[in-house]
Each structure stands twice: as structure tokens, then as C-alpha cells.
Amino acid sequence: MGDKILIGLEIHAELLTNTKIFCGCKNEFGADVNTNCCPVCLGLPGSLPVLNERVLDFAITAGLSFNCKIARNTKMDRKNYFYPDLTKAYQISQYDIPLCYDGYIEVEAEDGSAKKIGIERIHIEEDTGKSLHDATGDTLLDYNRGGVPLIEIVSRPDMNSPKEAYQFLEKLKEVLLFTNISDVKMEQGSLRCDVNVNVIKEDGRKSNIVELKNLNSFKAALKAMEYEVIRHNELLAKGENTVRETRRWDDSQNKTISMRSKESVQDYRYFPEPDVVDINLTEEYVNDIKNKLPELPDDKRKRFMKEYSLPEYDAKVLTTSKEISNYFEEMISKFSDAKMISNWIMTELLRRVNDEGITLDDVKFDKDAFVYLLKVISEGKINNNAGKKVFREMFETGKKPENIIKEKGLIQIQDEGAIKEIVVGILNDNLQSVEDYKNGKDRALGFLVGQVMKASKGKANPQMVNKLIIDIMKNM
């Protein structure tokens, strides 16, 4: 056994409910500062929080999607700490009985086998307000985010490489998006991720756990983890150790930087929240949510491979988002060649969409136009290269493919007589190549095909050209 890397993740995801967790204030990003606030979410004396049932639905949906058990009887707790963005000086969270526990997410281990990464718990809590620092150095507070519902997902330290952790994050994100629980926008703070990393050497020596915070993208998380693993190994090799601390990733310097030491564990003095009634769930309530779960990405992937005979790679790409998988399935309801659709979506469509930084909704042509294009290609009316030209123009202008094909004169020449005429002309002009071919130089054939295609402005059916050249040369 070699060195072992241990990585655990803690993820906070804001839930996409209409209103906040304990009051009727709107849950929206980007509103004017301090406009979505009321005495309840500010925690003013005399106000009473009432738990939003939708928060339970969303959190249980997440729990079931991540294979968790659901606690039937649980409660909210107060987590006491003083921080300016927390008006009450406590956060309403869950302490010893999380709503969901003991689940897992499956990832692909380094050796290619399936590996289950444990999820210790998923609990619900309220988000805090937000500190804003202005140009003069003053700190201002916006409480719009205070009381926005969150789930905190805590993994077990089961990930043994930054790559596994990256996959865990990707899968988590996919499920949250497919189930519509969170919009998972890291840049807007609706998904926040903290990472715990340490290394155990073969001889048993361990580095101290380092916590990585302020990771603003999955890529940053991956880089920060890779950086830390190297740093831990280097220190251990020198007989030194890491400090138990919190570090942040600095994108411009490509390294992690110490934020604060973590010598003492903070005592939050948790106790049950007396103002929110206990949560008691019936079997029926949980089953009802289970029955309404949408098809999850992993299941969809397996179904795509089985139902449409697609390779695993294709199935993975097509199920990275609900938009892409829906797009694919709508296409296949109109045209049955799954592999052809998959190829065109993966290469031409997604490449262009990603290059332009747009979504599938923004694409200028509809699926019927796309299907029309694939049909004329598969029927041999235009060749693949011409098809790509048509696609490009459809993408840029939204013009109908039939019009583009007509305007550009791209219809393939299928008429054998017409092609034969061109072939005979080319062969007579290139007698040396005909001779070369007869003497076993296969390259000469490619040259002749090229000449015929050129003469036909790329419109001759290439299979027909090939066959005719060989046939006619036999009699020369």
C-alpha cells in the first residue's frame, strides 16, 4: 500500500424555493439591498419563525437522490456564534439529528471501477446575510440573503484523489440541477464548497487536515486540492508537517494561502431551537416525494446506453444536463438514428454553443430544421462536409436548411450518367495517373477521386465516383 490521500467535502447549496426558510420574504438573487427582509428573517424580538414546507420537500428530494435515509423525527437547533452578517447572533440549523443521513454518490475510481463516496449527512439551515466592503473601507450589510434556505451536504473523507472529489462535485451538481433543487451557480454563491485534505504516508505518518475555503469554481477546487496534496507530501518528506488551518485558493498566484489557524475548535453551544416546532414526517409524506423524483442522471445514462445503443462516452455527454438530454430525446422522437444525432449534438452543436457561451434555448434554429438536415445527409442528398457548411449557416443566421442547400447548390449529383461524363474527362486528362494505378500505386486513385470531386464542385456522390473510376479504368 502506498501513500493515501484523504479528501472530504462540505457543500452548501441554496435552495430554489420561492420564499425564505422561516418567513414569506422572497428568495431571489440580485434584488436591491435590504429589500427582501422582515422582522422574522432579521430575528427581531417578538418575531416567530415558521418552517417553509417546501424546504423540507427540496431537502428530502436531495437526500433521496443521494441515496440517504430520511429522519422521520427531527428538529431545528440554534448554532450560537457572533458574526455581523448574523443578526440574531445564532443561526437556525440542525445539530445532532440531520434530516438526511448515510447516503452516497457513485464515482469512477482511478482503476475505472465504480466507487461509492459516503454522504454522512444533509441538513437544512438558514443562510446568513452578506458583508459588502465599500471603497472607503467601511463594511455594509445586506440581509437579503439572511434566511435563504440552504442544505449542507457533508461527505465522508472517502475520496482518495482530487479527481474523485472533482467527480463527486460534478455528480452532485448534475443531480441538484436535474431535480431543480438549486441553480448551482458558484459565481453567485448559490453553491459553496469547502474541502478537507490530508495525506497519510505509507509508514503511517499523517499530515494535519487543512481546510480549503473560498473556492469559486470546481476547477479552482481541483487545482487547490492538487496543490495541497503536493504541499503535504513535500512537507512530510522533509520531516515537517502542515499546520491545522484554513487556506484559500488564489487564482492569480495559482496557490493556496493561509487564512487562519484552526487550533481551537469553536464551541457553538448548540441547543434545540425553541421557536420552531419539531419535524415529524409520515412514511406517506416521504414516499410521495420518492414517487415524484425525476429520472436521475446516472439512470438516464444507463437507459441511453441500453435503449439507444449509445457508447458510454456519448451517454455521459448527453446527460450532463437536463437541457441536453431533453434536446437529444426530442430529436430522437423525430429521427431514429441515435448515433448520428449524438455525433452532431456532441461535435457541431455543443461545440458552437460552448464557444458562443449561449444555452440550447438560444439556438436560432428549431429541432425540425436540425432533423431535416440530418435526414438529407443520411439519404445522401448532400454529403457530410456540405452538411457541416449548412449547419454553420443555420447556427449563425437561423435560416432554413432547405433554403441554404438550394442557395449554395449543395445537392449531391446522384445521376450516374452526369458523374460518368466528368470521370471520363478527368481520366483522359490524367493518363499517367491511370497508368500508375494499374502499376499498383494506390495513391493515384485518391488523386483521381479528388480531381473528379473538384470538377463537380464537391457535389458528386463520392462512393459513386470511386466505383465509376475503377470500373472505367479496367477498360482503358
Total of chain residues touching Zn ion, rule CB under 5 A: 5
Residue 21 vs 324, nearer CB to Zn ion: 21
Q: Least distance from C-beta 37 to Zn ion, angstroms? A: 6
The one-character DSSP state at 349 is I
Q: At what angle do helices 416-429 and 462-474 cross, to 10 degrees?
A: 60
- The site string for Zn ion over 118-137 (x = CB under 5 A, - otherwise) reads --------------------
From CA 431, how far away is CA 454, in angstroms rounded?
Answer: 18
Q: Least distance from C-beta 191 to Zn ion, angstroms? A: 23
Residue 25 vs 410, nearer CB to Zn ion: 25
From CA 299, how far away is CA 163, in angstroms rounded?
Answer: 22
3-state secondary structure (DSSP) of residue 284: helix
Q: Least distance from C-beta 148 to Zn ion, angstroms? A: 10
Residue 40 vs 310, nearer CB to Zn ion: 40
Residue 50 vs 140, nearer CB to Zn ion: 50
Collect all residues with Cβ–Cβ distance below 8 Å to 303 and sequence separation of at least 6. Answer: 295
Residue 143 vs 168, nearer CB to Zn ion: 143
The verdict on 259 binding Zn ion (CB under 5 A) reads no
- The site string for Zn ion over 37-76 (x = CB under 5 A, - otherwise) reads -x-xx-----------------------------------
Cα radius of gyration (the chain): 30
- The site string for Zn ion over 5-44 (x = CB under 5 A, - otherwise) reads ------------------x-x------------x-xx---
Left, alpha or beta for 409 (phi > 0: left; psi -120 to 50: alpha)?
Answer: left
Q: Least distance from C-beta 42 to Zn ion, angstroms? A: 7
Q: Least distance from C-beta 88 to Zn ion, angstroms? A: 12
Q: For residue 347, what is its C-alpha cell?
A: 461535435
From CA 93, how far away is CA 70, in angstroms rounded?
Answer: 17
Going by DSSP bridges, is the β-strand pair 255-261/245-250 parallel, antiparallel, or unpaired? antiparallel
From CA 162, how far away is CA 285, in angstroms rounded?
Answer: 38
Q: Least distance from C-beta 90 to Zn ion, angstroms? A: 16
Residue 40 vs 221, nearer CB to Zn ion: 40
Collect all residues with Cβ–Cβ distance below 8 Å to 472 and sequence separation of at least 6. Answer: 420, 423, 424, 427
Q: Which residues contribute to the site for Zn ion (CB under 5 A)?
A: 23, 25, 38, 40-41
